Each structure stands twice: as C-alpha cells, then as structure tokens.
C-alpha cells in the first residue's frame, strides 16, 4: 500500500500541536526547507511532502533534544562554531566538535523514527533513515569546509552508492520521546542547497 506523505505530515502536525509546538507551512526561499525555534516550526510549502515530512520530523527530534538538555546543547553548538574558527590551527578540535554534533543529530533522528512509528507510519522509517543520513553527511561537509554540497546532485550520488552496495545506511534505533516542555530557542534554519550559486 502506498503512503500519502501529506497524510503522514498531517499526523505529525497533530502530534506537535498536542505537545505545544506550532506548525506552519508556507512559501520560503527555495534553498530553505524550513526553520524552527523551540515552540514553532515553519516548513516550506514549495517542497515535496516527502521532504517536508523528513525535515519536520527531524526538527521535532532536535526540539526534544534541546528542550531536555538546553545547556549541554548550547555548549555543543558554541564549541562547533568556535572550533570552525580555529580549524587551521587545531583541526582535531573541529573533528571532536563535529563528532558531538553528529551524535546530537543522530539522537534527534532516534526520536524522529520513534515518532513516525508512534503516529502509525513505520513504513516510512526506511526512507527517512536514508534521507537523514545523507543530510547529515551533507551538513558534515558544510561544517568541515564551509560549503554544503548541491543537494540534488549529492543525494543522487548517495542513492547510487547505496543501491550499488558501496555505502551502508545503518538504522536509527528508536528512542521514546519522554515528557518534555518545549523551550524557546533562537531560530534554526533548515537549508538545502539547490545549485552552485547558493551558499
């Protein structure tokens, strides 16, 4: 049975609204998939429903993680910012900061896959997993080099490598979302670079 991604988005939106997170879907610049604070998420209505679902669900996982450990999260992203400024003189510091960042993003996806199953859509977890591992690799490139890869080209190559057995996509282990109170944070952009002219 085929999945209506709009239907899954609607189910996730209902969960958010029941947990104090406002959701809006409206046009945004073409390279911006969405943006979020601790209490609201805006998704780009011009994106495919499948992409909106994955970014939305991951943003929820990030909000949960930030709400449960706000001080630790702020320190993690402060260190990543500072380490990037010192990457020429202390490249290992940047690699350590990237490792912590990747662990944070992985945990966000562990919450996300639990949520997809909780909402009754376990069938989309596999494609979510592939998409978000690819997104994490693209974001890792951004943090290492200061420039994100062009997403359509990058994701096509990623999928070719997965299909050809040259790249493995490990499952995210579902992590139950505990009771939490979303806390307001500074706006986070969800970016997807579409062409060579975009940063």
Dump pLDDT digits (tens) for 163-185.
Answer: 999 999 999 999 999 999 999 99
Mean pLDDT value of segment 121-126: 97
Catalogue the E-assigned strands of 2-127.
22-26, 32-36, 40-44
pLDDT of residue 132: 98
Residue among 196, 195, 190, 199 at smallest CA distance from 52: 190
Q: How far apart are CA 172 and CA 132, in angstroms?
A: 10
Q: Which two tokens stand for residue 199?
A: 């940063």
pLDDT of residue 198: 56
Q: How far apart are CA 42 and CA 116, in angstroms?
A: 19
pLDDT of residue 111: 98
Q: How far apart are the first and last CA of the chain?
A: 39
Q: Is the pLDDT of residue 197 over 70?
A: no
At 1, is the pLDDT very low, low, confident or very high (cuts 50, 70, 90)? very low
Q: What are phi and psi of 111, to 5 degrees?
A: -65, -40
Q: Which two tokens stand for residue 93?
A: 């510091």
pLDDT of residue 194: 87
At 195, is the pLDDT very low, low, confident or very high (cuts 50, 70, 90)? confident
Mean pLDDT value of segment 134-163: 96
């Amino acid at each position: 049975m085929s999945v209506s991604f709009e239907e899954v988005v609607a189910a996730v939106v209902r969960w958010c609204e029941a947990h104090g997170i406002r959701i809006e879907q409206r046009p945004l610049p073409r390279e911006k998939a969405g943006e979020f604070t601790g209490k609201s998420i805006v998704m780009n209505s011009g994106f495919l429903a499948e992409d909106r679902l994955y970014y939305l669900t991951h943003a929820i996982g990030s909000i949960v993680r930030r709400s449960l450990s706000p001080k630790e999260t702020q320190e993690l992203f402060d260190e990543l910012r500072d380490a990037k400024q010192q990457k020429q003189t202390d490249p290992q510091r940047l690699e350590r900061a990237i490792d912590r960042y990747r662990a944070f993003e992985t945990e966000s996806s562990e919450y996300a896959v639990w949520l997809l199953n909780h909402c009754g859509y376990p069938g989309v977890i596999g494609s979510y997993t592939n998409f978000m591992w690819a997104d994490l690799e693209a974001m890792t490139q951004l943090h290492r080099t200061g420039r994100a890869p062009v997403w359509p080209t990058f994701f096509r190559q990623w999928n070719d490598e997965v299909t050809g057995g040259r790249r493995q996509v490990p499952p995210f282990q579902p992590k139950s979302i505990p009771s939490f109170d979303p806390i307001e944070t500074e706006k986070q952009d969800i970016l997807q670079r579409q062409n060579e002219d975009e940063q």
